[in-house]
């Protein structure tokens, strides 16, 4: 009779064991003569010495895969249990192709940094507590930021994710919209929901939302809070005033990480209001622990025509500015 205890501290137990231990049951069914029980951060395997060693080896492979990929699909569990997948070979073969994977989304879909600046955003977030990611539509700045937040949650680096943006581009005036408060604000938060739904199974996302492990809320709702042990994203920051951005940044607790995204070419504030993002970039850019990244049309990952559209609009804007300056000089 042999007994082995594996420590799984720091892992997502639901991802390892499955909902209602559905994944763990696959392991138990593969070793019907063993007693396999989980308690806290320990997994105990007891029974015949040879079988316990085999089960231990299989579980260690599953743990390594989960630590590496932040995801453990049932197909991989079955492959490991059937001897069709060697972790070392998997790691060797995937080290090149999956070098830029941030996290694995629904159906084990790899979420990758796809451009040079997206990779730089990943590195800057690792090295700094606050990162400003500025660029035109389609450059993946929000999607990459959400992927980093999901990764931080899965690896227990943070306890929760908070996603926020100005709820209505022209000053958060929600009253004219039909429905209750959720109905009023959901359309403005939809891009954040879309990114989350691409990265987390529906059941798990619902559970996280219900238990406030993931919060999606308009910027005005951040006032008065202290946001700690959290990965926070302020999206569409070009539509926040200077007072709002200052309010948001002063909410951060000592263990928080933050990414602020914005597109300075799509400011929807009233003409008399200047975007607070300009001031934040100007006065905070040289603060240690705060980084700035400017994405360009070269980082566009949407339809191939989006890049050309952005370049043409930029060219037109520059021409209008030159014409305006020339008239002023005349």
Q: If you write DSSP's letter for every residue of 105-126 in order, what string do you get?
A: -GGG-EEE--SHHHHHHHHHHH
Element (H, E) at 133: strand 130-134
The strand ranges marked E within 198-324 are 214-218, 230-234, 257-262, 290-294
Question: Does 216 or 325 have the greater pLDDT score?
Answer: 216
Each residue's pLDDT tens digit, 104-114: 887 677 888 88
In this prediction, residues 285-310 reach a mean pLDDT of: 82
CATH architecture of the domain with range 2-99: 2-Layer Sandwich (3.30)
Helix axes 22-30, 49-69, angle to 10 degrees: 150
Rounded-to-integer distance, Cα 263 and Cα 136, Å: 5
Residue 39 Cα distances to 8, 30, 42, 52, angstroms: 10, 20, 5, 18
The residues, any chain, with a CB within 8 Å of residue 117's CB and separated by 6 or more, are 135, 139, 293, 294, 295, 296, 298, 299
List phi, psi (to 5°) of 206: -60, -40
Each residue's pLDDT tens digit, 139-181: 889 999 999 999 999 888 899 999 998 865 444 455 555 565 5
244 neighbors 115 (Cβ within 8 angstroms):
no
14 neighbors 61 (Cβ within 8 angstroms):
no
- Give the number of other CB atoms < 10 A from CB of residue 163: 23
Question: Does 243 or 322 have the greater pLDDT score?
Answer: 243
Q: Is it the case that residue 91 has pLDDT exceeding 60?
A: no
- Give the number of other CB atoms < 10 A from CB of residue 263: 20
Each residue's pLDDT tens digit, 75-84: 888 888 887 6
Fold of 106-299: Rossmann fold (3.40.50)
List phi, psi (to 5°) of 177: -80, 145
Entry pTM = 0.65
Give the pLDDT confidence score for residue 162 in this predicted structure. 94
76 neighbors 22 (Cβ within 8 angstroms):
no
Bridge partner list, 130:
258, 290
137 neighbors 313 (Cβ within 8 angstroms):
no
Mean pLDDT of the chain: 83
Rounded-to-integer distance, Cα 26 and Cα 28, Å: 5
48 neighbors 11 (Cβ within 8 angstroms):
no
Question: Does 297 or 233 have the greater pLDDT score?
Answer: 233
Tokens of 101: 């994977």
The label of the residue with tokens 């952005």 reads 310
Question: Does 196 or 67 have the greater pLDDT score?
Answer: 196
The label of the residue with tokens 């928080």 reads 256
236 neighbors 168 (Cβ within 8 angstroms):
no
Among candidates 271, 180, 275, which has minimal Cα distance to 236? 275
Give the pLDDT confidence score for residue 307 in this predicted structure. 67
Give the pLDDT confidence score for residue 112 in this predicted structure. 85
């Amino acid at each position: 009779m042999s007994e082995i205890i594996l420590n799984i501290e720091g892992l997502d137990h639901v991802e390892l064991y499955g909902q209602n231990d559905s994944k763990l049951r696959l392991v138990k069914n593969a070793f019907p003569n063993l007693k396999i029980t989980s308690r806290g951060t320990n997994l105990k395997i007891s029974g015949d010495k040879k079988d316990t060693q085999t089960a231990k080896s299989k579980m260690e492979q599953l743990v390594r895969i989960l630590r590496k990929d932040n995801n453990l699909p049932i197909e991989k569990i079955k492959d490991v249990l059937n001897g069709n997948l060697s972790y070392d070979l998997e790691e060797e073969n995937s080290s090149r192709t999956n070098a830029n994977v941030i996290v694995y989304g629904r159906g084990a879909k790899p979420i990758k940094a796809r451009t040079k600046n997206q990779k730089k955003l990943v590195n800057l977030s690792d090295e700094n507590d606050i990162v400003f990611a500025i660029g035109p539509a389609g450059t993946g700045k929000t999607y990459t930021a959400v992927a980093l937040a999901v990764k931080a949650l899965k690896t227990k680096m943070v306890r929760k994710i908070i996603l926020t943006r100005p709820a209505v581009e022209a000053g958060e005036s929600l009253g004219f919209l039909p429905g209750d408060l959720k109905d009023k604000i959901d359309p403005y938060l939809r891009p954040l929901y879309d990114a989350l739904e691409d990265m987390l199974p529906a059941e798990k996302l619902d559970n996280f939302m219900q238990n406030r492990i993931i919060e999606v809320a308009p910027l005005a709702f951040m006032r008065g809070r202290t946001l700690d042990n959290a990965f926070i994203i302020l999206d569409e920051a070009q539509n926040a005033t200077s007072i709002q951005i200052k309010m948001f940044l002063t909410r951060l607790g000592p263990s928080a990480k933050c990414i602020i995204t914005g597109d300075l070419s799509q400011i929807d504030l009233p003409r008399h209001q200047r975007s607070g993002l300009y001031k934040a970039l100007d006065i905070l850019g040289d603060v240690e622990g705060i980084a700035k990244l400017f994405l360009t049309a070269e980082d566009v990952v949407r339809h191939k025509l989006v890049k050309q559209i952005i370049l043409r609009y930029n060219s037109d804007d520059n021409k209008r500015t030159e014409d305006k300056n020339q008239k002023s000089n005349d």
